[in-house]
Structure formats: C-alpha cells, structure tokens
Amino acid sequence: MFQIRPVLLLSCLLGMVIGAAPAPGSEEVARPPAYGAWGFDLLGQDRSVRPGDDFFRHGNGAWFDRTAIPPDRSWTGVDVVLVQLVEGRLRAILEGGEPGADELARKLRAVYGSFMDERRVEALGLAPTAAYLAEIRDARSHEELAEVIGRPGTFNIGPFRVDIYPDDKAPDRYAVYLGQSGLGLPDRDYYLLPGFAGKKEAYRAYVAEMLALAGWPSPGEASAGILAFETAIAEASWSAVERRDSERAYNPTSLAELEAVAPFPWRAWLRPGGLEGRPRFIARENTALPRIAALYAATPLDTLRAWQVFHQVDGAAPYLPRAFVEAQFRFRSQELDGVGALPDRWRRAITALNGHMGEALGRLYVERHFPESARRQVEGMVSDLKVALRERLEHIPWMSPTTRAKAVDKLDRLSMKIGYPKAWRDYGALAVRPDALLDNISAAMIFEQQRSVRRLDEPVDRDEWTAPPQTVNAFYDSNQNAMTLPAAELQPPYFDPAADPAVNYGGVGAIIGHEFIHGFDDDGRRFDGGGVLASWWGEAEVRAFKERAAELGRQYGRFEIFPGAFVNGDLTMGENIADLGGLLVAHDAYRRSLGGRPAAVLDGLTGDQRFFLGFAQAWRGKTREDAQRRLLVSDPHAPEASRVNGSVRNVDAWYEAFGVRPGDKLYLPPDKRVRIW
C-alpha cells in the first residue's frame, strides 16, 4: 500500500478466500468468514500483552510467535499468503492448456513454457546474450559504450535512468524523466555506511563471480574497479529522503542545456530508444547528474565495460543457466535478505510473467477469480469513506476556508480503479516463442518501451493501470489523483464479504483511507485536484502541516527495531501520515455505516475493539533481520509493528475502546497526539 510516484514505476495460513466469480445469473454460495467466526483470528492474539503496551502483539503476538518465515522468502505475513494463493491460481491457468484457448493465453503459456524448459536454458548457456556481451566488449569509446547501454531489451542499468510518465505540472501529457542510476546494491547507504561494510565486500565478491561466469578476464581486479566506481556514484547520489521531494525533483531542461551542465554522450545513449530528438526532458536529481556524468567520463573504459557486462548477466540471471541463478540467489537473497531457499522454478516463472506481461496474465486471472459482487460491496465502502474524509476536510482547524474548499475539490475529483482496468492492453504485436526464454523477456521489454515512446505525443490515458489486477497491494497516483485497488487485494483478511463490517473497515477500509490520504501527505499535498504539481496552500497552512508532520516523524524515529537501528521518520513520513489518516477516516466511515445503531458485542468485543483488531490483523508481518535492515534505509514504509502501534496511539477512539491510560507504554497525552487530517 503505497503512493505511486514516477520514480517507483516502478507486490495467516488460515482458511478460505474469495473463489471464482459465479456464472452469470447464478447465486453465490454462502460461506463463513475465512478468519475466525466473524473475520478475526482470536487464536492469533497474545492477550497477556496489554493493548496499551504493544497493540501489534496484543492482536498478533501468538501468530507471530508460531509463524515461521518460509525458507524461500525474506518475510511472511498477510501479503505473502495472498501472493502464494494468487501464484497457485496463476499456475493452474498457465498449466491448464484447455482447448480453444485464445491467442493471449497461448502467448502466456509459451513464455511460461520457455521458462520451465530448464534443459533448453542449460543447453543454450550464454548464447542468448552473447551478441550483446560482445557489443559491450567491442565498444571502443565512452560514447560508443553509451549507445550500447541505451539499447532497449537489455538488462543494463547505466549511469542514468530514463522513464516516461505523465508530466507532474501538465499531467494530461507525457514527459521523459531522467534520473540517477548505476548502483547494484539496494541503496546508496550500502556503499557509504560502516554498518553495511560486510555487505559491500560480499557484493564485490559477487561481481567477481558473475564476471568469471561470463568469461571476463581478471574478474577480481575488475570487480574492485566496479565497486570503486559505484561507490563514487553513491557519494554523488541523492538520498532516499531527498528523492521524495517532488518539487525539488522537477527540473525541465533541453538536451542542449543538459549537455552543457552534465557533459555525457546523451544523444548516443538516447538514440537506440528513439528519444534523441525529444525537445524537453525533466531532470530529477539534477545536482547529481553532473557529478555522475563526470565520473563516467573519468572512469577507464575497461572498468565501464566490465561494469556493463556484470549488470547484463546479473539482470539476465533468472533466464540463464543454473550457475547464474544460484550465484545471484546466494548474494541477492541469502546475503542481503537472509533467505534460505531458492523459490520453485514455477514461482520464478510467474514472477517473470507478472513483471513483463502482467496485464495479460491479469486478464486471465480476473476472468476466473474475481467476483463482481466484491467490487460492488467495496464501492459502497468507498462512498462511506469519501463522506468521512470530506467531513474531516471541511473542518480542518488549521486551514483557511479557501484552501479547505480546494482540498474538498481534490477529494471530489479523485478517481477509483477497482478490480481491473476498463480496457485491456493489446499484446497482439508481441511475438514470443516456446523455446527462447531470454529472447521472450527481451521482446516483452522492447514491446513495453516502444509502446511508451509511441504515445509520447498523445494525451495521457487516465484509465491506464500501473500494476496488474493480480497484484496484492493498493496504490495512489498523485499526478492522476487516482487510487488503484487490484482484484487480488480484495481478499481476507483485508476484505471478506462474510466478515463483520468492523473488521472489513479496519482492514480494506483503512487501506482505502490510507490511499486517499496519500493525496494529502507530505508529498501528495503538493498536487492539486487535477494532479498538477502546484502551490495551492498558504504559507501559514504549510507551517502548521509541517509542524504536525515533524512531530509524527519524531514519534516514529523513536521506534528502535534493532539495537541502534531506528525507523527513519523522514523516509517513512508519507506512509505514516497515510496510515494515521486512513485509520481515522476508516473509523469514521465504520461508525457512519452503523446508521446510528449500536454495534453488537461479539466474543466480548465491542464494534470499535473489533475495528482496531481488524486493523492490527491486516498488518501481520514478520521479516528476516537482514531484509529488515535493508528496508530501514531504503523503504518508505515502517515495519509492520511500528505502523500499527504508531497509528493507534494517536487515535482517541482507540484509547476509549481499550481503556488505555497513563503508564501504558504507547500512551500519549491528548495534547501530544498528532492531529493532521
């Protein structure tokens, strides 16, 4: 559940889940809730923990203690269980091979089959990428190498990245964005902080191993040069916190202007992708680009060629022989995230299809596994949530009447994408073969890149989805002012048609409210109702907002996850604001849904208690230490326990529901509770 910004686009072992949609005209079979008797797993609680001391453990402690992280995962929780369920359904679709399948299904099964044909992958070896590796080796100048790096359908990363997205200040048209890139580790902090020195050395060894597998001479020496080059890029790069500032990252420029301030063979690099002649670009990390360009120019060509060979085989590794797959797994999964086992090949095949033909696969998924009744029920909840947020916006005490009216207008113009797209992407021009895995993946990459370039001068398609419907997640897009709620997210415990409404509002209701609030978080607030990056707040209101947000950041910054390792309240600011605001809006909507009637007491729990427990249950999660340390420096989301505890302690109704009082560890005096939306 996160906010989509262009830089990102960029996925409970209990009971039943929503099944296939009924046939037209048929009645759905009634069933009990998937979790417990009314939608909450009472056996997952740890009632020995007071709600006011640790609400995450109060709601999930027994589940947390008895749950093991699967050996092929870096974490487990609600999303992992739902992802595994979706993967199983997709496998059945791909391996079904029913007669009369249409062309789309045949293409998907051809790509899936090419992935599953491990014997042929082994027999081909490096042959599918040999020609590209030869081009890298044969490049005779920095400019010639830049053109090779710019080739679509390859797996290089290059010193810069290029994206095509709606223009932040003119969201009805597309723009070409340019930004920093070049790093093989998860974040620049891995190169710069002493705490990651061991990971950095393991990365150098991994680079040498992959270069040796690719037949590169003197791989140990080359890996040292690559690490030094990437460390210099890291020193020049913006931090994850700095990249969250959309105003700072919006810097229109022409290619000539860019060449003057950041000398680099831009035209050679952009030419293969058909972007050399574009009249306008938007530079994101504009102060980093000149420094990275200078590093590229000053680095020996041999180092740059080795750097590109490494990134090509690293990116292509999932589609290469097992030696590459296992080497990548040992570093990227075992070393960085503590994962113990390589996922089954069929799971890796589905991951590849989701990444490169996701909407095609989503069309088959929705046809079989998404009931329209779920969409209708969620649409009713959305109406309640919008009314609840409108009432809050209309009474924000620190906003002027003029700005409050603009905030309400933004809410009124917010669009909802629920379940699946209105129109499906056409994959007719994509050609694939059942015996050419890497070629298929490259073809899909080229297909998507060319589709993006072709529409550069067309109006923005506001109905387009940025994630396929089989995604277990939800999204808000600032410059479209739109929320996306995929079909796969609408499953227990997030949403269960048979569950107590309190649990649904605490689950998917808080998720929807969370995405609504992203339009008003520390970055989303910069965009108006039309999705335009513009100033529509007064100075006094900006100050009032920042004061409240800063206090929330300080609260989260006190959560110590490991000794000396704390949540970064600035990096996680947007998600924390959305969690808190979404929970408040969902609670208002839940009470509104009661129509003035008192909620029933179930298993001794009031409606409000069930609502907050439903919220806690939706955030069940458990992460390996290595993976969590990575996320603390790179992920804009706080750990699950911090998201639960950090939100509820700022909600008055939670104190009332559970009798939280001074002396409890999460207790905050009323005047210290953050009140933003």
* Three-state secondary structure readout of 327-373: HHHHHHHHHHHCCCCCCCHHHHHHHHHHHHCHHHHHHHHHHHHCCHH
- Please state the domain count of the chain: 2
Instruction: Specify the 3-state DSSP secondary structure of 45.
Output: coil
What number is the average pLDDT over the span 574-583? Answer: 98
Q: Is residue 363 part of a domain?
A: no
In the listed set 298, 320, 342, which residue is the last one of a domain according to the structure? 320
Q: Are residues 274 and 412 in the same domain?
A: no
Q: Who contacts 196 (Cβ-Cβ below 8 Å, separation ≥6)?
A: 185, 189, 190
In the listed set 286, 320, 354, which residue is the last one of a domain according to the structure? 320
What number is the average pLDDT over the span 445-462? Answer: 96
Q: Is residue 435 part of a domain?
A: no
Q: Are residues 509 and 593 in the same domain?
A: yes
Q: Is residue 495 part of a domain?
A: yes
pLDDT for residue 27 is more than 50:
no
Q: In the prediction, which pLDDT does 19 show?
A: 33
Q: Are residues 160 and 298 in the same domain?
A: yes
The closest alpha carbon to 494, from 516, 509, 515, belongs to 509
Q: In the prediction, which pLDDT does 30 show?
A: 63
Q: In the prediction, which pLDDT does 373 show?
A: 87
C-alpha 193/C-alpha 198 separation (Å) is 10
State pLDDT tens for residues 58-79: 999 999 999 999 999 999 999 9
pLDDT for residue 22 is more than 60:
no
Q: Are residues 291 and 395 in the same domain?
A: no
Placement of tokens 């509002």 in the chain: 505
C-alpha 201/C-alpha 211 separation (Å) is 16
Q: Is residue 127 part of a domain?
A: no
Q: What is the DSSP letter of 173?
A: E
Question: If pLDDT is split at 50, 70 and 90, which confidence band does 21 have?
Answer: very low
State pLDDT tens for residues 173-203: 999 999 999 999 999 999 999 999 999 999 9
State pLDDT tens for residues 365-422: 999 999 888 889 899 999 999 999 999 999 999 999 999 999 999 999 999 999 999 9
Q: Are residues 549 and 666 in the same domain?
A: yes
Q: Is residue 173 part of a domain?
A: yes
Q: Is residue 331 part of a domain?
A: no
pLDDT for residue 12 is more than 60:
no
* C-alpha count within 13 angstroms, C-beta hemisphere, residue 365: 32
Q: Are residues 148 and 226 in the same domain?
A: yes
Placement of tokens 């998860």 in the chain: 186
Amino acid identity of residue 57, one-letter, is R
Q: Are residues 59 and 169 in the same domain?
A: no
Which has more pLDDT, 6 or 620? 620
In the listed set 303, 320, 337, which residue is the last one of a domain according to the structure? 320
The DSSP element (H or E) to which 4 belongs, if any, is strand 2-4
Domain span at 268 = 142-320
pTM of the model: 0.93
What number is the average pLDDT over the span 221-240? Answer: 98
Q: Taking all residues of the chain, what is their mean pLDDT, rounded to a whole number?
A: 94
Q: Are residues 405 and 540 in the same domain?
A: yes
Q: Are residues 278 and 409 in the same domain?
A: no
pLDDT for residue 15 is more than 60:
no
Q: Are residues 255 and 380 in the same domain?
A: no
- For 215, 375, 476, 489, 612, the CA distances from 484, given in Å and listed in that order, are 45, 12, 6, 10, 24
Q: Is residue 92 part of a domain?
A: no
Q: Is residue 340 part of a domain?
A: no
Sign of CA dihedral 267, 268, 270, 273: positive
Lowest mean pLDDT among 29-43, 124-138, 151-165, 297-311: 29-43
The CATH number of the domain holding residue 529 is 3.40.390.10
pLDDT for residue 507 is more than 70:
yes
Q: Are residues 49 and 179 in the same domain?
A: no
Question: If pLDDT is split at 50, 70 and 90, which confidence band does 100 have?
Answer: low
Q: In the prediction, which pLDDT does 372 show?
A: 87
The CATH number of the domain holding residue 198 is 1.10.1380.10
Q: In the prediction, which pLDDT does 589 show?
A: 97
Q: Who contacts 110 (Cβ-Cβ below 8 Å, separation ≥6)?
A: 432, 433, 434, 440
Q: Are residues 281 and 377 in the same domain?
A: no
What number is the average pLDDT over the span 229-246? Answer: 97
Q: Are 466 and 4 in contact (CB under 8 A)?
A: yes
